[in-house]
Amino acid sequence: MSSATAIAPNYELIQQDGLETSLLEVSMGPHHPSTHGVFRMDVKLDGETVVDLQPVFGYLHRNHEKLAENMSYLGSMPFTDRLDYFNSMTNNWAYALAAEKLVEIEVPERADYLRVIMAELTRLVNHVSLVGFFINDLGALGTPLLYAFREREKILDLFEQASGARMMCNYFRFGGLRNDVPEGWLDRARDVVDHFPVFLDEYEQLLCENEIILSRTQGVGCLSRDLAISAGITGPMLRASGVNYDIRKVDKYSIYDRFQFRVPYTDGNVGDCYDRFMVRMLEMRESIRILKQALDGIGDGPVLGNAPKVFKPKPAEVYGRVEAPKGELGFYLIADGTPKPYRYRVRPPSLINLTVLRDMCLGQKVADAVIILGSIDIVLGEVDR
Amino acid sequence: MSLLGGGIFKGMAVTLRNFVGSYFYKDRLTTNDYSWRPSDKLPQHAGEYPKEEGEQLRDTTTVTNYSRNFPMLLHDGSEPMDTIRCVACQICERECPPQCIYIEKSTEKKENAGGKPQFYPAKFDIDVSVCMSCQICVEVCPFDAIVMNSQFELSTPDRFGGLLLRRDDLLKSNDYYHNIHPEEAAARDKRIAEEKAAKEAKKKAAAEAARKKAEEKAKADAEASEGTPDIQEDAE
Amino acid sequence: MSLELIRDILVATVPLLLIFPTLFAFTTWLERKALARIQNRIGPNKVGVPLTRYGGRFSLFGLGQPMADGIKMLFKENIVPRDADRLFHLLAPILALIPAMLVLCFLPIDFPWINNIQDSVKAFMLDGAVIFFFAITGLNTLAVFMAGWASRNKYSLLGGMRAIAQMVSYEIPLVLSAVIVVMMVGSLNAAEIANAQAGWNWFIFTPWGLAAFIIFFIAALAETNRSPFDLPEAESEIIAGYFTEYSGFKFALFFLGEYIAMFAISGLAVTLFLGGGAGPGVAALPWLSVIWFLVKIFALIAVMIWLRGTLPRLRVDQLMGFAWKFLLPLSILNIFIAGSALHLLAGGRLAGLDEKQPILRQLMEGANPLVVAGLWIGALLILYVAANGLNQLSRAKVRPREYKYAE
Ligand code: SF4
Ligand code: SF4
């Protein structure tokens, strides 16, 4: 029969309030239901309070960068799909942007419009399901998640019609897109975009005023403005901490300067899970605005520029980045005159945003650690590469 | 100040609305009822999932016209090996990112659909357990010989052999292609026809020019030295 | 023991042991179906009842699903962790089921066959039924902690600790809100409480009864580990809490125990506040009261399912705060209000202390409608203001926020 003495050797004894007690070490993951993939948190608990937390990752390492260095430039395009497998379109775009800088290809206007449409649809997909997962981590029985997945499904249908695949789209090419969208696609897209706000209203009604969600998320996992900046956090997480920084506005890459849209951010005195959740909710509305403008403005024309048949750039170093739904996704390429990149480096927003996990979790409850992780929005495919 | 617990009641109103709505509005449903019954036989081909009579399922329940799964090789006529388009140029083998195509070129040439002697793949294997359905092979093929299939029921108890598709498994007729991807196939055929027409026009123009040149030359020759035999120049 | 007595005992208990597990099976189906519809899914719809599926094409809305689940559970491997305490690991699910089953017999359901058995076997005639109910459900806590401890899994341990804290805390508002009813009836006997509400005199139709019912229901959710208080088995935090290491039939027993506890506590709520078996048509057809009782239980369970489909869960400290800083003061205040009303209506006399004096229920009936209306408004106003104040105290800074936009 097991007794306390049999268990004790595993535990580290500490003195607290004159009592000899011990911390509970729990290894959350890699097969914990809410670590969003194969991710592990080594948590030390005092009762339910987190006193130490060590993120452990790398379980999903697939050697992405080294593979790409031994492959033609085009060959690693399908592999970028698998970085952040929720948002293959923006991954493609960031890589295409970098490669286009290497050889300076003009992207046709219609392709640019379609790229913006795809990227903003991706943002909707990501944010809507992230919110669903986040509320799931809070303990709701998947109801918001399933609503989100219904909407995601409609957008994935659009992706499938355009690119042939729902998630691993592999749709972007250097100098444009692989193929034009089929006939009637724009109308279907407009339909989806028009109906999205209806769904968002319902979603907001379900979630945004719920007392339990408010008290669970407010004041939990605060990330200060300074820490966010010095840790290199990007994306909605940075804006929730009060920094107005959106690469769509800063770089104005592609044709983003043609659209009217706003970037929601906070005044930066809290930066908690609620802010991160709300910034994403608000960002979806702005994405819809962009989508509407893009769907109205798109014209006819080719979708693939005059890309060279054999992609063999001159020696150069480039960095291409986009505002992916999770943050700044960048590709750094060094070309050495051969058809393969000499160096291929990904700047994954998930990984860099994850670095502050420990700082946000200390002193919180173990249940909060889960939702803080959820609010960071990681995809392990991108963290581990 | 809002009502105490008001947010919770609002949320409950939403779920109630969804509860009731799911009975009345089909577009609210997250999932579809496949209406598959044990007595139905399993589908053999893409798009064969049984439907209730007269019921139009949303096209996501079946494989859509746009989906892609694994590559297949096209042939034009009824005899696959006589009309195979692939000429075993091995570009796709080289370009496939995960390197899952294996080709062995034939040693002798054989007539293809156009009646031209060509090499053909003696072996053409695709390991679909490795293939990631990226479609790069389709893009790089200069002969429109390889396109994406949408067949998805490929599960097999044989983990290695069963997932290695051989040349004869991969060969599908152009009609089948038209069947599963009508728009794409039509566009591709149109492009091939255009290219062919352009090529032929070019060829014709070239032949015409050569003939004219030859005629002129012959004339000149005849004028220069009568009685010498005509020299035929090959236009091609 | 005479043969007669044994027969009577069997007549009194066996139907309960048959009816409620059957209802449990039906409830799992209902819950899955309702949750599915809330989430816009279809839910189980393929498994039919045998003989309907192969004969025709009816699958009866998947009604056979619980049966299939049960068979699956029975045949699953029973995995016990190597270092687990095998004895307690085995005992815990049994102990979880027994008290839940036991308290079922305190529910005053007037099964027709029960009328001709000896009074001494009619468990719900017990004079202290309500107290007994709470005493026995309290055992459940022990089972849960036993499971958490015996599994020798850290998540189980965390779940077990959460369960103890939660169940002990919520027991207090639960009992205190039941006190209101005892004040109104002057008895702890379940059957008497139910009889006192015959017709439409349900206690939920009194201001303090309404408030007490809401508190009771919230506390009952916590007692049975239902969402939003399902912390001991919080899936996203501690896997499955105390039954992480349970599989197969032991898990099924836990599951069964949980649902039976749900029936029991809803049954108690029905007895205390919703008039027991009272309902239209009962006077003419006495057996209707069984139906009404079950319908009311299912209505409460439907609300539980609805809540489960809507709400995320609370955090440990918020959960405890909610019990101690919100429910407890409110239920005490509620008792106080009820007491004052009693005092007021009885014209300053001490009422209800002994049986000859009028109790609150009778006083309400006899009172001037204006006074009654005043009592309603006054009591609910005080309670609402108090609730709001308590809410402000603990959650002052929690509110929706405004966001800035950059062009
Ligand atoms: S689809 Fe991609 S992975 Fe598959 S065979 Fe073609 S190139 Fe290779
Ligand atoms: S499929 Fe196309 S690219 Fe591949 S070997 Fe045949 S002809 Fe060449």
Domains for chain A: give ranges and CATH numbers.
Answer: 2-56 (no CATH), 64-384 (1.10.645.10)
List, for chain A, all residue ranges whose pLDDT scores fall below the cut of 70: 1-13
pLDDT score at B1: 43
Pocket of ligand 1 (CB under 6 A): B 71, 96-98, 100-101, 126, 131-137
- Specify the pairing of strand A341-347 against strand B164-165: unpaired
A267 touches chain C (CB under 8 A): yes
| DSSP code of residue C323 | I
pLDDT score at B46: 40
Tell me which of A295 and B232 has the higher pLDDT: A295
CB contact under 8 A, B134 and A170: yes
Q: Which helix (H) or strand (E) holds B173?
A: strand B171-173
pLDDT score at C359: 61
| d(CA A88, nearest CA chain B) in Å | 12
CB neighbour list of residue C284: distance below 8 Å, 6 or more residues apart:
none
Tell me which of C178 and B222 has the higher pLDDT: C178
CA distances from C366 to B40, C354, C358 (A): 69, 19, 10
Q: Mean per-residue pLDDT for C119-124?
A: 64
Q: What is the CA radius of gyration of chain C?
A: 23
C38 touches chain B (CB under 8 A): yes
pLDDT score at A13: 67
A205 closest CB neighbour out of B10, B30, B148: B10
pLDDT score at B43: 44
Polymer length in residues for chain A:
385
Q: Where are the domains of chain B?
A: 20-63, 70-180, 182-223
Q: Are C311 and C230 in contact (CB under 8 A)?
A: no
Share of chain B above pLDDT 90, in %: 0
pLDDT score at A12: 63
Q: Mean per-residue pLDDT for C366-390?
A: 79
Q: Does residue C365 carry a pLDDT above 80?
A: no
Residue among B87, B91, B92, B119 nearest B106 (CA) = B119
B13-21: list long-range contacts, CB under 8 Å, 24+ apart: B13/A205, B14/A202, B14/A205, B14/A206, B14/C310, B15/A143, B15/A206, B15/C38, B15/C306, B15/C309, B15/C310, B16/C306, B17/A202, B18/A147, B18/C37, B18/C38, B18/C39, B18/C40, B19/C34, B19/C37, B19/C38, B19/C306, B19/C309, B21/C40
B16 touches chain C (CB under 8 A): yes
CA distances from A3 to C89, C149, C150, C159, C228 (A): 14, 10, 10, 19, 33
Backbone dihedral angles phi then psi of residue C168, each to the nearest 5 degrees: -65, -40
pLDDT classification of B229: cutoffs 50, 70, 90: very low
* Ligand with an atom nearest the CA of residue B96: 1
Task: Classify the C-alpha dihedral B51-B52-B54-B60 as positive or negative.
Answer: negative
Determine the longest span between alpha carbons in chain B, in angstroms. 115
- Specify the pairing of strand B101-105 against strand B121-127: antiparallel
Architecture of domain B70-180: 2-Layer Sandwich (3.30)
CB contact under 8 A, B97 and A71: yes
Cis peptide preceding C81, ω within 30 of 0: no
Average pLDDT score over chain B: 74
pLDDT score at C89: 87
Share of chain C above pLDDT 90, in %: 2
Q: What is the pLDDT of residues C308-342, one digit of tens each?
A: 888 888 888 888 888 888 889 888 888 888 888 77
Alpha-carbon span C105 to C125, nearest angstrom:
10
pLDDT score at C360: 61
Q: Are B218 and B230 in contact (CB under 8 A)?
A: yes
Q: Does residue C368 carry a pLDDT above 80?
A: no
pLDDT classification of B63: cutoffs 50, 70, 90: low
Name the least confident of A247-261, B65-79, B164-178, C50-64.
C50-64
Is the ipTM reported for this complex over the cut 0.95? no
C235 closest CB neighbour out of A1, A7, A33: A33
Q: What is the pLDDT of residues A74-127, one digit of tens each?
A: 888 888 888 888 888 999 999 988 888 888 788 888 888 999 999 999 999 999
pLDDT score at A122: 92
pLDDT classification of C366: cutoffs 50, 70, 90: low
pLDDT score at A225: 87
pLDDT classification of C51: cutoffs 50, 70, 90: low
pLDDT score at C242: 82
| DSSP code of residue B143 | T
HEC readout, chain A: CCCHHHHHHHCCEEEECCEEEECEEEEECCCCCCCCCCCEEEEEEECCEEEEEEEECCCCCCCHHHHHHCCCCHHHHHHHHCCCCCCHHHHHHHHHHHHHHHHCCCCCHHHHHHHHHHHHHHHHHHHHHHHHHHHHHCCCCCHHHHHHHHHHHHHHHHHHHHHCCCCCCCCEECCEECCCCCCCHHHHHHHHHHHHHHHHHHHHHHHCCCHHHHHHHCCCCCCCHHHHHHCCCCCHHHHHCCCCCCHHHHCCCCCHHHCCCCEEECCCCCCCHHHHHHHHHHHHHHHHHHHHHHHHHCCCCCCECCCCCCCCCCCEEEEEEEEECCEEEEEEEEECCCCCEEEEEEECHHHHHHCCHHHHHCCCEHHHHHHHHHHHCCCHHHHHC
Backbone dihedral angles phi then psi of residue B170, each to the nearest 5 degrees: -80, -20
